[in-house]
Amino acid sequence: MDGGKASDGDGSDRLYAEACAVYAPALARLARSVESDPDRARDLEQDIHLALWRSFDGFDGRCALGTWVYRVAHNTAAGHAARGARAAKLVAIEDAGELLSAENPERAVGATRAVDRLRALIARLRPADRTIILLYLEGLEAAAIGEIAGLSSGNVATKVHRIKSLLAAHFASGDPS
């Protein structure tokens, strides 16, 4: 391996295994956030993994492994969406329903509806804005999101603030759409 470049099959396989060990859960969440149908989400997840595995022949180490993984994954997901796949629900916050006590079904139903509304609002965002907010919800810093999306970190921070304000306004208005 030369300066991080995957110049042979073994290097590519090693990088892919390393990327999967760290990022596989995030890649699954991304697939489920783009595609609401579970079967189509699994297909997209497989497409992302295939694209990622193939991409490591061209990985030259000029960016962090995580940046490369997210860039390939989001480009694959964007291509999938552009081919007519239905934009779907945000999954990164899906676990919120699991945090609720099973002994309080009314609260669980209310939280599920709130999460569903938030997902629907995020699904209606333009793909670039949806990508930014999904990466933000994954816990990435503005600089990392900027590197993935091709924006400055200041631009990302501004977009995140605007998207959060937009979502909060729609959510607070009680608009079910």
Mean pLDDT of the chain: 79
Q: Could you tell me if 28 and 52 are in contact, meaning their C-beta atoms sit under 8 angstroms apart?
A: no
Q: At what angle do helices 127-137 and 153-173 cross, to 10 degrees?
A: 90
Give the pLDDT score at 99: 45
What structural domains and CATH numbers belong to the chain? 1-88 (1.10.1740), 98-177 (1.10.10)
- The DSSP element (H or E) to which 56 belongs, if any, is none
Give the pLDDT score at 23: 94
Q: With cut-offs at 50, 70 and 90, classify the pLDDT of residue 88.
A: very low
> pLDDT, tens digit, for every residue of 25-40?
999 988 888 887 888 8
Give the pLDDT score at 104: 58
> pLDDT, tens digit, for every residue of 137-167?
888 899 999 988 889 999 999 999 999 898 8
Give the predicted TM-score (pTM) of the model. Answer: 0.58
Q: Six-digit token pair at 96?
A: 């919120």
Decide which of 20 and 1 is more confident.
Answer: 20
Q: Tell me how far apart the alpha carbons of residues 136 and 134 are, in angstroms, rounded to a whole number.
A: 5
Taking residues 97-105, report their average pLDDT.
51
Length of the chain: 177
